[in-house]
């Protein structure tokens, strides 16, 4: 806490007056702090002496487990006085008084090994606040404090001083350590902490003390070089690079195979990138996914890093584990500004490279799929033929299936309307892709450009079937009312669009299609499993669709390949359907030879298994009692 400085003589007189008046020494505030805690945190020597002589407990703990010694060790008197008391003489007196306060508490039996609720001792507090005088005093007056310096539970005072950049405190602590590379529970060394935070004086001191820049932490297996490169701490990185005796240390890989150069690039730390490259870091080293620093620069969109890597000989056409070049990643992420230098470098490396990844997709495909129009303009201007290179699922397909109608319009404007009837390896046109996405604007664009609405892919499916399967009611409505779709088209399994909508339980799509069917024969069309739309709608519980089908003339006596009528198709499985057939046959007073009764039993698997019964025996004889 910070208070206005008052001469200690006046403070102690007030305190003595309170004590003589019967003030309770054991009284604590909401945080469990006694008067001795407050005199300690203010470094008030005479008041501390008065309280201790009056019987105050020097090892009393507050709610955080802190004793008065914790607070006395953390006093930063010069900082406090500089803020509140410009008198230099008062500053010097207060500084000495704070040290006397700490020394008096130690001499009065304060335990320097007490730890707060987080496991920190007074030595930790002094190190975190950077007071070298308090540290020296604690270490000199208690051998147990020396043990705390090397204790890494939860973290050592040495790490705290490095983390907060207290160079003088770090110097005091290093003199007591045998090993300056002690690691905390996560494997961090003091050099790692200082390098990560950019405390260059601490890094310099630790390097002079022999700290290693190759020790790895436990989680990512980073070294201090990785830490400084990832956080862009140029001065710290330079100090360690100058100290390095082996060139191979510069490209040490972490658990993901990333080098300091890759981490510097991912953070767009251009100065660190230049420094590492000039010191011999290899730009084409790949990580576990074979991605290089140039791939990293393409992902984050750092033009300066890309140029630095290219100037130092980075290969523009390097491929990752999926065959993607930096151009693929730049186009995918929408970094149009990177495409020009990368394309230029690629043309110098191999002008005939078709820029295909292992799925035969070009950067144009990736830009189209993510709807980056600015990237598409650059790529199409550089190489218009890239539109039809690689995978036959063209960039136009990619744009439409992802719902980017703006990118699709750019393609049509650049390449012409003929592109709307291009087919991929599965026979799908861009109209199929639009129907799959359910993008109304893209559908209208495709239809306006002359796309054949009745074109089917190699499985016999039209755009209407695909839209119905995915439940895109708006797309189904457009294809029905604006494009004169042929409703009699059947796929390779002889499913109509109505079959497909019912099978996927797309009730609204099925009703829209039903509203446009005038031919009763289409209502009762059977697929290869001899199922009518009524079979499928009944099986999926589409009550409204079943009702409409019945009013439109759907036959209730149609038999599928399992011998089930639409009514029996409602059964959850074939065995239940067979049982229902047997029960229904005994409930209905069919006469011998009645077609309905015979059909129920003829295709029933249970009845068919009773071979001794003659096929000519009437149904009612089977159920009669002897």
pLDDT 10s digits, 343-370: 999 999 998 888 999 999 999 999 999 9
* Whether 247 contacts 283, CB under 8 Å: no
Residues near 8 by beta carbon (within 8 Å), at least 6 away in sequence: 44, 45, 46, 47, 97
**pLDDT, position 490:** 96
How does residue 16 score in pLDDT terms, banded at 50, 70 and 90? low
* Whether 402 contacts 370, CB under 8 Å: yes
How does residue 92 score in pLDDT terms, banded at 50, 70 and 90? low
**pLDDT, position 134:** 86
Q: How far is Cα 185 from Cα 159, in angstroms, rounded to an integer?
A: 11
Average pLDDT of 67-89?
A: 62
Q: How far is Cα 625 from Cα 608, in angstroms, rounded to an integer?
A: 20
**pLDDT, position 606:** 44
Question: Is the pLDDT assigned to residue 333 strictly greater than 80?
Answer: yes
Can you list the pairs that 49-57 forms with residues at least 24 positions away whose Cβ atoms lie under 8 Å? 49/104, 50/12, 50/15, 50/16, 50/19, 51/15, 51/25, 52/104, 52/105, 52/108, 54/19, 54/25, 55/25, 56/25, 57/26
**pLDDT, position 351:** 87
- What does 587-620 look like in DSSP terms, one character per residue? HS-PPTT-HHHHHHHHT-HHHHT-TTS-TTS-HH
How does residue 94 score in pLDDT terms, banded at 50, 70 and 90? low
Average pLDDT of 293-306?
A: 96
Question: Is the pLDDT assigned to residue 442 strictly greater than 80?
Answer: yes
Name which residue leads in pLDDT, 117 or 178. Answer: 117
Average pLDDT of 458-485?
A: 94
Question: Is the pLDDT assigned to residue 87 strictly greater than 90?
Answer: no
Instruction: Report the mean per-residue pLDDT for the chain.
Output: 84
Residues near 89 by beta carbon (within 8 Å), at least 6 away in sequence: none
Say if domain 183-314 classifies as CATH 1.10.3720.10: no
Average pLDDT of 170-179?
A: 86
97-135 pLDDT, tens digit each: 777 888 889 889 898 889 999 989 898 999 999 888 888
187-203 pLDDT, tens digit each: 999 999 999 999 999 99
* Whether 143 contacts 178, CB under 8 Å: no
313-330 pLDDT, tens digit each: 999 999 999 999 999 999
* Whether 220 contacts 257, CB under 8 Å: no
**pLDDT, position 520:** 85
**pLDDT, position 99:** 77
* Whether 411 contacts 402, CB under 8 Å: no
Domain boundaries defined on the chain: 183-314, 571-626
Average pLDDT of 528-544?
A: 93
How does residue 1 score in pLDDT terms, banded at 50, 70 and 90? very low
Most confident of 1-15, 19-33, 170-184, 214-228: 214-228
Question: Is the pLDDT assigned to residue 86 strictly greater than 60?
Answer: no
Question: Is the pLDDT assigned to residue 509 strictly greater than 70?
Answer: yes
Most confident of 30-44, 169-183, 292-306: 292-306
606-622 pLDDT, tens digit each: 444 434 433 333 333 23
**pLDDT, position 93:** 53
How does residue 19 score in pLDDT terms, banded at 50, 70 and 90? low
Question: Is the pLDDT assigned to residue 458 strictly greater than 50?
Answer: yes
**pLDDT, position 142:** 66
Q: Is the peptide bond before 308 cis (omega within 30 degrees of 0)?
A: no
Average pLDDT of 393-400?
A: 93
pTM > 0.85: no
CA geometry: angle at 20 spanning 17 and 25, to 5°? 95
Average pLDDT of 153-175?
A: 90
For residue 351, how many other CB atoms are within 10 A of its CB?
7
Give percent of the chain above pLDDT 70: 85
Name which residue leads in pLDDT, 580 or 612. Answer: 580
DSSP structural state of residue 528: T
């Amino acid at each position: 806490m910070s208070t206005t400085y008052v001469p200690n003589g006046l403070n102690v007189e007030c305190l003595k007056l309170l004590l003589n008046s019967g003030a309770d020494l054991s009284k604590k505030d909401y945080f469990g702090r006694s008067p001795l805690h407050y005199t300690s945190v203010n470094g008030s020597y005479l008041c501390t002496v008065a309280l201790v002589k009056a019987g105050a407990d020097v090892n009393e703990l507050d709610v955080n487990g802190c004793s008065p010694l914790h607070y006395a060790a953390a006093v930063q008197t010069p900082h406090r006085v500089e803020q509140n008391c410009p008198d230099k003489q008062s500053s010097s007196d207060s500084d000495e008084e704070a040290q006397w306060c700490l020394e008096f508490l130690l001499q009065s039996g304060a335990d320097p090994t007490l730890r707060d609720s987080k496991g920190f001792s007074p030595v930790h507090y002094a190190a975190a606040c950077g007071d070298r005088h308090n540290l020296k005093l604690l270490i000199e007056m208690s051998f147990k404090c020396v043990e705390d310096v090397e204790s890494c539970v939860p973290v050592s005072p040495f790490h705290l001083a490095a983390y907060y950049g207290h160079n003088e405190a770090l110097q005091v602590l290093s003199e007591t350590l045998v090993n300056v590379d002690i690691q905390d529970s996560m494997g961090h060394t003091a050099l790692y902490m200082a390098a990560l935070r950019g405390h260059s004086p601490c890094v310099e001191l630790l390097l002079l003390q022999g700290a290693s820049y190759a020790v790895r932490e436990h989680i990512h297996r980073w070294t201090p070089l990785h830490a400084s490169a990832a956080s862009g701490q140029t001065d710290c990185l330079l100090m360690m690079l100058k100290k390095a005796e082996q060139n191979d240390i510069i490209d040490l890989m972490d658990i993901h195979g990333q080098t300091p150069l890759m981490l510097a690039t991912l953070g767009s730390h251009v100065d660190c990138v230049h420094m590492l490259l000039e010191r011999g870091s290899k730009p084409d080293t790949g990580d576990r996914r074979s991605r290089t620093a140039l791939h990293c620069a393409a992902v984050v969109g750092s033009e300066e890093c890309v140029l630095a890597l290219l100037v130092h000989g980075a290969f523009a056409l390097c491929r990752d584990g999926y065959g993607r070049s930096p151009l693929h990643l730049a186009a995918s992420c929408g970094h149009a500004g990177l495409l020009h230098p990368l394309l230029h470098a690629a043309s110098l490396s191999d002008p005939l490279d078709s820029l295909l990844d292992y799925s035969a997709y070009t950067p144009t495909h990736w830009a189209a799929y993510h709807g980056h129009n600015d990237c598409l303009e650059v790529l199409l201007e550089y190489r218009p033929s890239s539109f039809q290179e690689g995978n036959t699922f063209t960039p136009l397909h990619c744009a439409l299936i992802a719902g980017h109608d703006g990118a699709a319009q750019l393609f049509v404007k650049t390449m012409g309307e003929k592109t709307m009837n291009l087919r991929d390896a599965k026979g799908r046109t861009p109209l199929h892709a639009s129907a799959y996405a359910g993008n109304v604007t893209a559908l209208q664009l495709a239809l306006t450009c002359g796309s054949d609405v009745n074109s089917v892919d190699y499985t016999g499916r039209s755009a209407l079937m695909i839209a119905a399967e995915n439940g895109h009611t708006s797309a189904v409505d457009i294809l029905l009312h604006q494009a004169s779709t042929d409703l009699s088209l059947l796929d390779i399994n002889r499913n109509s669009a109505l079959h497909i909508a019912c099978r996927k339980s797309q009730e609204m799509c099925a009703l829209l299609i039903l509203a446009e069917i005038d031919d009763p024969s289409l209502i009762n069309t059977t697929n290869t499993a001899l199922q009518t739309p009524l079979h499928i709608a009944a099986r999926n519980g589409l009550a409204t669709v079943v009702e409409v089908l019945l009013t439109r003339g759907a036959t209730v006596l149609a038999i599928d390949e399992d011998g089930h009528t639409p009514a029996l198709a409602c059964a959850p499985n074939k065995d239940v359907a067979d049982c229902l057939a047997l029960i229904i046959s005994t409930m209905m007073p069919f006469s011998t030879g009645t077609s309905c009764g015979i059909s129920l039993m003829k295709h029933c698997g249970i009845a068919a298994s009773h071979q001794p019964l003659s096929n000519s025996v009437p149904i009612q004889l089977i159920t009669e009692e002897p």
